[in-house]
Structure 1
Amino acid sequence: MTDRSDKPRVAMLGALAPDLRAGLAERLDLVAPDQLPQLPAAERGGIKGAVTMAMQGAPEALLDLLPSLTTLASCGAGLEKFDEPALKARGIALYPTPHVMTEDTADMAVALVYAVARDIVAGDAYVRSGRWKNGRRSRATRVAGKRAGIVGLGRIGRAVADRLAGVGLNVSYHGPRPKSGLLYHYVADIVALAAAVDFLVMTCPGDETTRHIVNRDVLRALGPSGFLINVSRGTVVDEEALLEALENKTIAGAGLDVFAQEPVPNSRFLALSNVVLQPHASVLTHDNLRELVDEVCRILGASAQ
């Protein structure tokens, strides 16, 4: 193990998951947010690196305590919690970790496609409850051969598209503009895309340009045989419209890893049998933890182990 004196001293700008903090602490001298004000000004002035979570951002009050900060590693892909011009004005370079999140988030999107279409969660409960002896469950929806629409064909969206195409779905996509060199069909209007597919998969950034991009018109176009999958951000979906669609069965179902309110989503979701809920857990894999620790330590100048 690296001696504390040999580790780069790094400020935490928010809470880190215990396993992530433990992994980083092997190679970084972490200073928790509540410890920063207690450090002498000279020690705080020597801290050049910091780490945060994408969903927490960089609180100004903590930045004010770190006048020499130059490098900020953000665990996650999203940038919506950061004031990038303000960071730049302070001379701080922001380094998100999107590529570390790609494979696991794409896996979760595909898992949710199967989970909601094949009713896997309810099937598990059916066996555990002993009801199987009373007869077969109702039929579910085949995935192979269906049509998928990806909203946001960035790094994650492309990985989802490739996976779904690989298991036999016809894939098209929507975004601000078409991308060159792709076999997937571009649809300029999200309502038209929703009307043309069986699965609408959200992988776009969560910012003001995409806020409530999935609205009543989109859900109406998706229709009673269509499924919504969201591994993006809760803000991209008008949740009131989604809840109404699920409750009234004007769409077939949804698979959600993100919500407008976290970690306590709208309680109306809990009463629904046509939605599969996940706790914003797309990237919670052992592989992601190992790669994320390596990437943050690389950004912040820690030696490899």
Structure 2
Amino acid sequence: MKLTPLLLAGTANAALRFGCSSLTIQRLDPLVEPGANPSAHLHQIVGGNAFRPNMTGDIGASAAATCTTCTFSEDFSNYWTAVMFFRSPSNGTYKRVPIMQNTALPNGINGGMTVYYTQQDFSSNGKQKITAFKPGFRMTVGSPTTGSLTAAKGHTGLRVELLMKGKHNSCWDGKNLDSPDHQSHMYNTAREAFQPAGPCPASHPIRMPQVAYETLWDTTGFNGLWDETKDANPFVLSFGGSNGYGTHADYLFGWKGDSLQKAMDSDCMFTGCENGKPLKSQAVREMNRCSVPDMVGEDVDGWLPSLPGVGSMPMPMAKA
């Protein structure tokens, strides 16, 4: 399906879709557990190489970054989510599931995720000014402690499959760059990811971009290691959840200067925003070259006796 921008008098309606290769996969979470090394569970992190265990303060992620794993070379933000594991039905050991290439993106991106910045939806900004996030802005969506579909629908706006999308709230209170729960300074007006957003309430009057993450987990390498007619679901997330309701995502803004605002004020769409129109972009080899050192020092790639930081889970019930 071809997505065509709808131009509105006096407004613009850009939509960004771009890849970010993996920056690192470590047990770190500078928003929820600032300074903890290691944090409670494993995350996959993309974006600027200023990522570290403690990123408190309002300087923004771009201040110390020298490279980014994202397509847009002016985006030094950090984006992170939980990681998926396969749990062997035969012996209970765990193996991290690799990430698939998104065929809608340039070939060769190393792991990572697809990131979206949309406005009211993919083809309209609802004739509203879309205000870019500010330096030091941060937020989360979802919670690893969410254990039911009802609770997940009540506050996250997440759609979870093996393809996971985490949509962040789109209305800002105009005052706080963060809040104690990393969520209440924002308000969610969209019922589903990428759907038209409702009006911002008086308590959160400033419309900001809707942000979504998309990760494709390649489960095919485990096809011969379980019997889907007999075994329970062997795929679990790094915080210990197997139903997906606790999927969560973190965002720390780090776009350089007014680059994101320029994009939101434009009428570009997807790859049409690259190569200085209006955003600077970089080749896949440059994205893949950016990294940060291992700050935790634990094996996350071999067959593991337990989930890093979480421990072993009770074996799931086999299918009748």
TM bucket normalised to smaller = under 0.3
Structure richer in strand, relative to its length = 2
Greater length-normalized contact order (CA 8 Å, ≥ 6 residues apart) = 2
TM-score normalised per structure 2: 0.22
TM-score normalised per structure 1: 0.23
